[in-house]
Amino acid sequence: MSLRAKLLNRWLRRVEKPAMARAKSPAALRKRMDMQARLLFHPPRGTQMKWQVLEQGPARVDVLEVVPRTLTSDLVVLYLHGGGFVFGSPPAYSALAGQLARRLGARVMLARYRLAPEHPFPAAFEDARTAWDGLVNSGVAPDRIVIGGDSAGGALTLSLLAELAVEKASMPAAAFCFSPLTDVTFGGDSFSRNAEAEAVLPAEGAHDMAELYLNGADAQNPQISPFFGSFTGAAPVWITVGDTEILHDDARRMVQVLQRDGVHVTYQEQQDLPHVWPLFHNILPEARQTLDDLADWITQTRAQQGES
């Protein structure tokens, strides 16, 4: 573990985690994240960004397309950001997307899905599905698409993958998740075991935030909690999580579900790294290494598919 990671964890636990716990509204969380993203996170030089619209019938989703300076691949990454279904935005994740785009030489599309409480379930999931269908309708073959996300965006990623599997629909090339939320019933032991050790997420506010999204819906619905889904026939999945996160067991238990259903899973567990640490690519060598590992895995997975 690098000195920078130790110092970052100390700052997150003393400053950011209490600030999140004190936030009085989703609007305050949104404002804070967008401001910090502008200050802390920067894409590689030459990265280009533009807004587009993906459509499926009458449904429409805005997406921020992130294009690297050197585009060498026909791959498209559809990324679903985190934020507990109530905050986060494509601009806040554009630097992370730029880092991934550069490593892959590929476009990354950040979907602006609707947020709770203004738009509770099923709005976010519907928008994730619209983004997928719209990207395919635009002419991108499913096997040229990788879907991914972090935290709540990881839930949307895996829920989308499960729905495609149940429908026996065309699969993406692969899917990946950083620190995914997979069980909105919060049934994993790490939710309480790591409540103090967790560097970012205040466990005591998670249920209230979830209720804003659920709005009375059953948390065991696979469109909400992919842990309760079925994945037979799904594309390969890559998951990483830190061992001190409250979502540690969300990731570990999700791996077991995927393996149960015969999905090829690659799992990386890191020591005491903060929630969704790849966001800190400007600061942490571990973040850059994780992005390198993911890009290598995506490249190798596509190569293996081409050989089969």
Residues recognised as catalytic: 151, 245, 275
Pairing of strands 107-111, 59-67: antiparallel
Q: What is d(CA 257, CA 185) in angstroms, rounded to the nearest whole number?
A: 16
- Measured CA to CA, the distance from residue 158 to residue 149 in angstroms comes to 9
Task: Give the strand pairing for 237-242 and 174-178.
Answer: parallel
- State which H helix or E strand residue 139 sits in: none
Distances (CA, A) of 63 to 34, 130, 132, 219, 250: 17, 11, 11, 27, 28
C-alpha to C-alpha distance for 257 and 251, rounded to whole angstroms: 10
**Could you say which DSSP state residue 87 is in?**
S
Question: What residues have CB less than 8 Å from 156, skipping those under 6 apart?
Answer: 80, 113, 124, 125, 128, 149
Q: What angle do CA 217, 223, 224 make, to 5 degrees?
A: 55
- First-to-last C-alpha distance (Å) of the chain: 38
Distance CA 67, CA 43 (A): 11
| DSSP 8-class letter at 171 | P
Residue by residue, DSSP assigns 195-228 as: TTT-SS--GGGHHHHHHHHHTT--TT-TTT-GGG
* DSSP per-residue codes, 30-69: HHHHHHHHHHH--PPTT-EEEEEEEEETTEEEEEEEEE-S
